[in-house]
Structure 1
């Protein structure tokens, strides 16, 4: 689930955007009237999407983008006159009048991108401590000696057991060691 923050100085416009998102299956985490409020909510969340106006009472969308954490994406909805001669990096700009199907497909695309980034971070290989590496090595040695496995077979066994049980490789190695050394 992607956290969405809606920030519009005109609360009626903000509520309308929120209603469009909710009707299309998205979860709106916060509805704000100022950029400062949006930044406050963004600091409480790990990642997400900010949908905002080009101008808010306390800052322009460029300032909001600058202060947002890098893990946040941004959609700016504004009149075409706001964009004349400007380009906003790391944000998608939609002009008024808003086409709902264009807006929803843009949100879906960004939500998919955020989910992919989250999965990549989750599965990024983590450095193992020396203790964890030793546990894995000892578990492999025990499996090799006890079950006449090659090192590759023992490693594959630990990997498969780890995936089947939903635990990490080091934790699985510890379980194997505790079971075999009884």
Structure 2
């Protein structure tokens, strides 16, 4: 096995571990409420904005790569990963200090909300290994494999980023302030 293949195998083991650990830790932390800590009710609009900014940067990154601006593409994609990590930290911090908010909409809007929320949650778990593998392919300079995987990763990540904003906008009237 050549050096690149060994590196990729090692990176894939790490990606597999991270892809399992993150959702498990988030699920476990959801059940933890920090006592005597002020609720972080100011975070939802911030992390929704981070989702929105991620969506914009994803589109800009695709435009950059299509224009041959590879370094800009790399920086924008790295920024998207950093923003996603910031989102995750804030999201968990909010839910560890605040009670969950129930959606108060009725009828078709309620069904639409839960459809968007459930697909958002499922795809936010699915996207973790996809993003990391896509990034790793570029890091290892396997650009053909990177492009193929990016064609799957990009629309799913964009969907997760946009629906994160939509879910926030739909539930925000029901937050207790």
Please report the TM-score for the alignment, with normalisation by the length of structure 2: 0.26
More strand by share: 1
Larger Rg computed on CA atoms: 1
More helix by share: 2
Please report the TM-score for the alignment, with normalisation by the length of structure 1: 0.26
